[in-house]
């Protein structure tokens, strides 16, 4: 492969393969360069350090759940429908990652543990989307809150069992869908006008 056509996304894909193959403790930038057939200098041209590369690959993995969420954000509709669709999309995306490829999920769990700023930004993004749904619903009189930002965080916290990877072991347990539905209903009742 010539360096001319090397894109950041190709590097991230190769880095993910290398991380999966060698594990987060052993994977190096040289391994990534070798997998791409380029010099490690070519990798460093896009990512200035091993830490930067690991953060970027973690960021991309976290953002994968955003595709579904972006679709929900783009769609119109009543706040209760949008809120539940958003929470369901997040749960579905996280669950798919955890149960669909447990080995890669375990790898990323290690990486996420190292990348506190990346995860903080990820959570801030997600809470921001919730806040947008809440603010739109508030303007339309579909829900009530005196503090949309704090309420968005409370909704995020309230559903943590259904999106935080530390709870992944629960996600294929019987009754988990019902538990999620009951919780979503309780949250909506907490927001809706009386």
Binding site for a second copy (CB under 8 A): 147, 150-151, 153-155, 157-161, 164, 166-167, 178-179, 182-183, 185-191, 194
DSSP string for 146-192: S-HHHHHHHHHHHTGGGT-GGGGGGTTSTTHHHHHHHHHHHHHHHHS
CB 163, min distance to a second copy, A: 11
Q: Exposed, middle or buried: residue 170 (CB in 10 Å: 0-12, 13-18, 19+)?
A: middle
CB 11, min distance to a second copy, A: 32
- Would you call 135 helix, strand, or coil by DSSP? helix
DSSP state of 38: S
CA distances to 152, 183, 191 from 194, in Å: 19, 19, 9
Give the residue with the Cβ less far from a second copy, 49 or 182.
182
Tokens 């949309």 belong to: 148
Give the residue with the Cβ less far from a second copy, 44 or 188.
188
CB 119, min distance to a second copy, A: 12
Give the residue with the Cβ less far from a second copy, 7 or 117.
117
CB 127, min distance to a second copy, A: 11
Give the residue with the Cβ less far from a second copy, 60 or 153.
153
Computed on alpha carbons and rounded to an integer, the radius of gyration of the chain in Å comes to 19
Give the residue with the Cβ less far from a second copy, 36 or 187.
187
CB 167, min distance to a second copy, A: 7
- Taking a C-beta distance cutoff of 8 angstroms, is the pair 165, 109 a contact? yes
């Amino acid at each position: 492969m010539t360096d001319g056509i090397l894109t950041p996304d190709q590097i991230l894909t190769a880095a993910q393969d290398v991380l999966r193959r060698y594990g987060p403790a052993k994977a190096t930038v040289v391994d990534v360069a070798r997998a791409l057939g380029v010099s490690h200098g070519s990798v460093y041209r896009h990512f200035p350090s091993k830490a930067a590369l690991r953060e970027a690959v973690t960021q991309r993995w976290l953002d994968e759940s955003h595709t579904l969420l972006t679709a929900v954000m783009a769609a119109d509709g009543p706040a209760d429908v949008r809120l539940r669709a958003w929470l369901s999309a997040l749960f579905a995306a996280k669950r798919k990652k955890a149960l669909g490829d447990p080995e890669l999920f375990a790898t990323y769990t290690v990486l996420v543990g190292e990348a506190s700023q990346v995860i903080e930004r990820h959570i801030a993004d997600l809470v921001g989307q919730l806040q947008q749904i809440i603010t739109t619903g508030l303007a339309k009189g579909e829900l009530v809150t005196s503090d949309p930002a704090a309420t968005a965080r409370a909704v995020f916290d309230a559903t943590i069992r259904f999106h935080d990877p530390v709870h992944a072991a629960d996600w294929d347990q019987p009754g988990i869908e019902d538990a999620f539905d009951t919780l979503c209903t309780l949250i909506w009742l907490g927001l809706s006008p009386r």
